[in-house]
Amino acid sequence: MLIAQISDTHILAPTADHPSVELRADCLRQCVAEINAQQPDAVIFTGDTVQTAQVEEYEYLRELLAPLEAPLYVVPGNRDDKRVLQAVLLPNGPLSNVPLSNIHKGNANLPDNVDSLQYVVDEHAVRLIAIDSTAVGERKGVFGSERQSWLETVLSEKPRQPTILFIHHPPFDVGDHYIGGYRRQEDADALADIVQRHPQVKALLCGHVHRLIDRAWAGSRAVVMPSVAVDLRKDVEEATAKNRPIYMLHQLSDGSDLSSEARIVSG
Ligand SMILES: [Fe+2]
Domain ranges of the chain: 2-264
More confident call, 159 vs 102? 159
Signed CA dihedral, 61, 169, 232, 261: sign only = negative
Find the 46 Cα to ligand 1 centroid distance in Å.
9
Task: Tell me whether residue 56 is exposed, middle or buried, using C-beta atoms within 10 angstroms of its C-beta: 0 to 12, 13 to 18, 19 or more.
Answer: middle
End-to-end CA distance of the chain: 27
Find the 8 Cα to ligand 1 centroid distance in Å.
4
pLDDT at residue 90 in the model: 67
| Residue type present at position 102 | N
Find the 37 Cα to ligand 1 centroid distance in Å.
26
More confident call, 118 vs 77? 77
Is residue 82 within 8 A of residue 134, CB to CB? The reply is: yes
Angle, alpha carbons 177-244-54 (nearest 5°): 70
Find the 158 Cα to ligand 1 centroid distance in Å.
32
* Residues that place a CB less than 5 A from ion ligand 1: 8, 48
Find the 210 Cα to ligand 1 centroid distance in Å.
6
Find the 230 Cα to ligand 1 centroid distance in Å.
11
Find the 10 Cα to ligand 1 centroid distance in Å.
7
Among 244, 236, 242, CA closest to 210: 236
Find the 254 Cα to ligand 1 centroid distance in Å.
33
Fold of 2-264: Purple Acid Phosphatase; chain A, domain 2 (3.60.21)
Find the 256 Cα to ligand 1 centroid distance in Å.
31
Find the 39 Cα to ligand 1 centroid distance in Å.
26
pLDDT band at 250 (very low <50, low <70, confident <90, very high): very high
Is residue 46 within 8 A of residue 85, CB to CB? The reply is: no
Task: Tell me whether residue 73 is exposed, middle or buried, using C-beta atoms within 10 angstroms of its C-beta: 0 to 12, 13 to 18, 19 or more.
Answer: buried
Residue 169 has pLDDT above 50, yes or no: yes
CA dist list (Å): 131 to 1, 16, 142: 20, 31, 10
Find the 108 Cα to ligand 1 centroid distance in Å.
27
Q: Could you give phi then psi for residue 233, rounded to 5 degrees?
A: -80, 160
| Residue type present at position 225 | M
pLDDT band at 242 (very low <50, low <70, confident <90, very high): confident
Give the model confidence (pLDDT) of 67-81 as tens digits: 999 888 889 999 998
Find the 207 Cα to ligand 1 centroid distance in Å.
7
6 vs 80: CA distance, rounded Å: 15
129 vs 114: CA distance, rounded Å: 17
